[in-house]
Amino acid sequence: MKYVIYRYRDELSNLIHKYPCVIDVFRSIKPDNVYHERQLQQIFADNENINNLIYQNLSLRKGYKRSGNKHYFINELTNEKICCIVNHYYITILSKDKYNIFFDILYQISQSYVIMSKQV
């Protein structure tokens, strides 16, 4: 499955907790043009330093590889290959399920991450 994850700005956390249906409105915004990209910039936080934090947490683990903004991890127990791609405003995780090392790291960093879309 492919999970696309955004981290909303701290200023919006109260709004999202009070009105959870707002997430559906945000989900409908696609970065098709400059106007929508600016909207996304106002809603979601930048993913600066996420690459470094993932690298710090996994660099000593067996089965971890990094290529630029792409992180790969092979789970030795299940033989599952997990890929995490860090983009400017969103993170894509390719995995069988959402219980894996990359989600754990994102949760440790911040609890303001939202899975915006899940594709099979």
Residue 93, pLDDT above cutoff 80? yes
Higher pLDDT, 81 or 10: 81
Query: Domain span at residue 6?
Result: 2-119
Q: Is residue 90 left, alpha or beta, with left meaning phi > 0 and alpha meaning psi from -120 to 50?
A: beta
What contacts 27, CB < 8 A, 6 or more positions away?
A: 116, 117
Question: Hey, what's the torsion of the CAs at 53, 54, 60, 66, to 10 degrees?
Answer: -120
Report how many domains make up the chain: 1
- Domain of 65, CATH number, reads 3.30.310.250
Tens-digit pLDDT profile for residues 51-90: 999 999 999 999 999 999 999 999 888 889 999 999 888 8
Tens-digit pLDDT profile for residues 11-42: 887 888 888 888 778 777 777 778 877 887 78
Residue 115, pLDDT above cutoff 90? no
